[in-house]
Amino acid sequence: MQSTDLFLREATALLVIDMQNAFCHPSGGFAQVGRDVSAQHAIIPTVAELVRTARGAGMMVVWTIQEGLGPDDRARLSRQIPTRLGRGSVEPETWCIRDTWDARLVEPLDGELKAEDHVVHKLRMSGFYSTTLDATLRIREIRTLIVTGVNTEKCVESTVRDASFRDYDVVVVGDAVATSDRAFHDDSLRKIDAYFGVVLPSQAVAAAMTASAVAGGV
């Protein structure tokens, strides 16, 4: 990897996916239903450092916020196949409900959000589905996305796939994404690295960010 020319800072954005209390805090919604969020919590310092590095390099920073609708998500609750297969009815999700503490960015990442950043609110796993993300990136002439966040096999992989389908260059920071199931995490990263982008460690990505700042005169 030639770290000195990996990124063009004016054409690169850091995407922080769903680093919210629901998924990352030991008292959040995921933990309340019995899911282990220790891996998600552990990446908070790495994500925070990448946000600061991206900002120092003059790169765009974008945050996605998952918003649950609970019992108001009627389209999701109307799905019939799981019931017909005897897997039980689809129950309302109780985490990340809009306008609650659960849906807020986890500390200390909430303090990293700046007025110049872009925040994308979403109702489904992909950051591109029925949101302004693609239009926002294209208006800024962004061609490369550096992806961090949670959960690897769900919102991260869904967003990465959609970014790839839209012909963005995608770099997933392997130690800055996480989920509750290590096997799912590893499987997603293997697929992403093979088909939808590349997976790199945070140290290499941060070095390339810094190099882009120097090359760009920041």
Taking 3-state DSSP, the helix, strand and coil percentages for the chain, each rounded to the nearest 5, stand at: 45, 20, 35
150 Cα distance to chain centroid: 5
Best CA proximity match to 176, nearest among 15, 1, 4, 2: 15
Indicate if 122 belongs to the active site: yes
Catalytic site residue from 18, 24, 154, 162: 18
Q: Which CATH superfamily is domain 3-66+106-216 in?
A: Isochorismatase-like (3.40.50.850)
Determine whether 96 is an active site residue.
no
20/18 Cα distance (integer angstroms): 5
120 strand-pairing partners = 64
pLDDT digits over 61-89, tens only?
A: 999 999 998 888 888 888 889 889 988 77
Strand partners, 121: 65
Query: The dihedral of CA 159, 66, 182, 80: what is its sign?
Result: negative
pTM of the model: 0.94
Q: Is the pLDDT of residue 218 over 80?
A: no
Which of 108, 143, 186 shows the shortest CA–CA distance to 10? 143
Mean predicted lDDT score pLDDT of the chain: 94
Residue of 24, 96, 102, 122 marked catalytic: 122
Marked catalytic residue, from 96, 154, 155, 162: 155
What digits encode the pLDDT tens for the residues 6-65?
Answer: 999 999 999 999 999 999 999 999 999 999 999 999 999 999 999 999 999 999 999 999
Residue 4 has pLDDT above 60, yes or no: no
